[in-house]
Amino acid sequence: MNDMKRTAADDLLDVLASWGVSKVFSCPGSTEAAILDALMDRDDMELFLTTHESAAVSIADGYSRATGAPSVVYLHANGGLTNGLANLAAAQLAYSPVVVLNGLKPRSIQSRAGFTTARRMRDFVHQYVKDDWQCLSSEAIAEDVNRAFRTAMIEPTGPVWVGLSQDLLESPSSAPAPGADGFTFDSRTVPSASAIRAAADVIAQSRHPVIVAGSEVARSGAIDDVIRLSETLRVPVLHEDRRALERPGFPTDHPNFRGQYEPAHPLVQGADLLVFLGARLFNEFEPPTSPQLPAGVKIIHSHTDARQIALIHGVDVGLVGDQGLIAQELLAALSERPPQHEFVLPEREADPAPRASTTDGGALKALDVVDTITDALRGAVIVGDATTAGGVLQTRAHQHSGNDYFVSSSGSLGWGMGAALGIKMGLPQRRVAAILGDGVFQFGIPALWSAARQNIPVTYVVINNQRYAAVGAALQRYHGKAAERQVYPGTDIAGVNIAEVSSAFGVPGQRVDTLEDLRSAIDAADGVEHPVLIEVMTDTEQLRP
């Protein structure tokens, strides 16, 4: 087919290069031959091989989250796309600019519903991307892919899908290809002056305002602006609700930090104004049985993505735009129209005394395990995918910057194994550790292969309670036969030696069952130049940490 001539695949790689892409994450198949071939002589770009699409997508997502830069996944046919969807949902929720290229069979086979063809590929992916387009001609490939990057990077950023038929990709080049130049622009916006004025007025008239800093504050690099707003006004700050949080919007070690948003939080209860900055209201796990917002409280809600504002609850002022710019504009407006009552920063409760983390001979409790982990990993980037232990992890993990803690709000198991690899590549100077459930582990195993092959030095810690504790907890809440008998069907997943699985993949694994051994294992893994996995055995009976 290709006798050393330039192809549309070469054009496509030029587009990728112009956007600074250096790695193409893929588990390729025959439809990707042209791309694999075109990658061979590039010194600016390499294939990053994965052995499952769930890994490819989560690694790319992690990389984009950590860097803010676009990443590229190349998926194979229909099976490859659908295997990647669960983690693509996670990327979407985190506004991660992952460009998904999808190799498709030659066009003539598509209409014939041939091998590995689904005739409406876009239906699969439509809900999880900002745009989906299947290229119609080889001349259009570079332009279409370039536009995909542009779309992924326009605020609010997010995943985009492009379908690339094999015959088009293997066609002769039709350079010159467009590139990032001219297609990268500052797409941040600010709300109208009157909206800002309205927000400043509401703040100026309030007595007990509370800021709730969401993940978008971190993603848009606006933490310093929010600190300034909070310090100038002397207003306390909470993190957004735990189900919606993707990363910390405020330093947990800042004197104005007061914990995580919960309707029952005393500051929320006492507030007359809640200023939600870049937060989601809310990512509901179940229909709430009590109000999520105090009665009569005023609401200001800013978000880059207008679709998040007044989605469930009405607002007094909605502010669409960039979190950093909005914080700056609010501050400017408030200096002209200062608050009518001086705000008093409430006392901060003393941090709880460090808990004694020693093993008392019985089965390890998840709470103690999380304490030990967060203590040992102070200073590291934590990637959380720990299910029932996730809530405690979130409150205990040290989060000084917006990059210190990453989770997914998608609720689909397995994201963290691959994401940690992408995050480590995006933050090479930092130590990165992923904290996982044993159920989660089984969904992410193929990521181990890429960790070993690419020698990415992350520390995996698997909290092995040999259970789907979250499912047991749901049965408890259901108050049926299971709860009455305290027998929880569908939750016992014992039987896997996770450390051995890991070692068999080339990621040295170690099983520990005391807090002391856990601590030493985490310490020993520090600075080691390859990935390691620590499996910590915990109480199998406990359904909540």
Interacting residues toward ligand TPP by CB under 6 A: 27, 29, 76, 79-80, 83, 86, 387-389, 411-413, 437-440, 465, 467-471
Whichever of 125 and 199 has its CB closer to a second copy, that residue is 125
Indicate the length of the chain as a whole number: 545
For 341-359, give one letter per residue: b (16+ CB within 10 A) or e: eebeebeeeeeeeeeebeb
Q: Which stretch binds a second copy (CB under 8 A): 28-36, 65-73, 204-212, 271-279?
A: 28-36
Contact 509, 438 (CB under 8 A): no
Among 22, 67, 82, 292, contact with a second copy (rule: CB under 8 A): 82
- Asked if 413 touches a second copy (CB under 8 A), the answer is yes
Indicate the residue type of 10: D
Task: Examine residue 471 and tell whether it contacts a second copy (CB under 8 A).
Answer: yes
- Cα 164 from Cα 154, distance rounded (Å): 22
Near a second copy in 250-269, by CB under 8 A: none
H or E element at residue 134: strand 131-134
Tell me which residues in 484-523 interact with a second copy (CB under 8 A): 484-485, 487, 489-490, 492-493, 495-498, 500-501, 503-506
Please choose which of a second copy, ligand TPP, none residue 388 contacts, taking the beta carbon within 5 to 8 angstroms, the exact cut-off set by kind: ligand TPP
Q: How far apart are CA 156 and CA 307, in angstroms?
A: 10
Residue whose CB is less far from a second copy, 24 or 153: 24
Which residues, numbered 48-77, are part of the site for a second copy (CB under 8 A)?
49, 51-52, 77
Question: Residue written as tokens 């490859």?
Answer: 80
Task: Find the distance separating the first CA and the last CA of the chain, reported in whole Å.
Answer: 59
CA distances from residue 136 to 133, 231, 422 in whole angstroms, order as listed: 9, 54, 32
Structure tokens at 432: 């990165």
User: Which residues are 319's β-sheet partners?
Assistant: 302
Instruction: Report yes or no: 246 and 216 within 8 Å, Cβ to Cβ.
Output: no
| Min separation Cβ 498 and ligand TPP, Å | 10
> Does residue 6 contact residue 175 with C-beta atoms inside 8 Å?
yes
Residue 205 CB, shortest distance to ligand TPP, in Å, is 43
Return the one option of ligand TPP, a second copy, none that residue 490 interacts with (CB less than 5 to 8 A, by type): a second copy
Residue 10 to residue 169: CA distance in whole angstroms: 9
Among candidates 431, 415, 306, which has minimal Cα distance to 377?
Answer: 431
Q: Does 179 bind a second copy (CB under 8 A)?
A: no
- Give 3-state DSSP helix, strand, coil % of the chain, rounded to 5: 40, 15, 45
Q: Tell me the window of 131-139, 232-240, 282-290, 392-400 that interacts with a second copy (CB under 8 A).
A: 282-290
465 binds, among a second copy, ligand TPP, none (CB under 5 to 8 A by kind): ligand TPP
CB 536 within 8 A of CB 377: no
* HEC assignment per residue over 352-412: CCCCCCCCCCCCCCHHHHHHHHHHHCCCCEEEEECHHHHHHHHHHCCCCCCCCEEECCCCC
Q: Decide whether 434 or 501 has the Cβ nearer to a second copy.
A: 501
Q: How far is the CB of 385 from a second copy (least distance, A)?
A: 12
Residue among 240 and 535 whose Cβ is closer to ligand TPP:
535
Residue 279 near a second copy by CB under 8 A: no
510 binds, among a second copy, ligand TPP, none (CB under 5 to 8 A by kind): none
**Binding partner of 389, given ligand TPP, a second copy, none, CB within 5-8 angstroms per partner class:** ligand TPP
10 counts as binding a second copy under rule CB under 8 A: no
Least gap, CB of 117 to a second copy (angstroms): 9
Backbone φ, ψ for residue 96 (5° rounding): -90, 120
Chain positions 109 to 168 lying near a second copy, rule: CB under 8 A, are 109, 112-116, 118-120, 123-124, 126-128, 167
d(CA 89, CA 67): 19
The span of 182-190, 195-203, 419-427, 437-445 binding a second copy (CB under 8 A) equals 437-445
Which pair of tokens denotes residue 118? Answer: 């689904």
Residue 170 interacts, among ligand TPP, a second copy, none and using kind-specific CB cut-offs from 5 to 8 Å, with a second copy
Q: To the nearest whole angstrom, how small is the minimum distance from the Cβ of residue 464 to ligand TPP?
A: 8
Of the pair 27, 271, the CB lying nearest ligand TPP is at 27
Give the helix ranges, DSSP H, for 457-545: 469-478, 481-485, 498-504, 515-525
Binders of a second copy: how many residues, by CB under 8 A?
99
Q: Which is nearer to ligand TPP, 177 or 536 (CB)?
A: 536
Q: How far is the CB of 295 from a second copy (least distance, A)?
A: 20
Least separation, in Å, of the C-beta of 331 and a second copy? 32
Nearer to a second copy, 123 or 360 (CB): 123
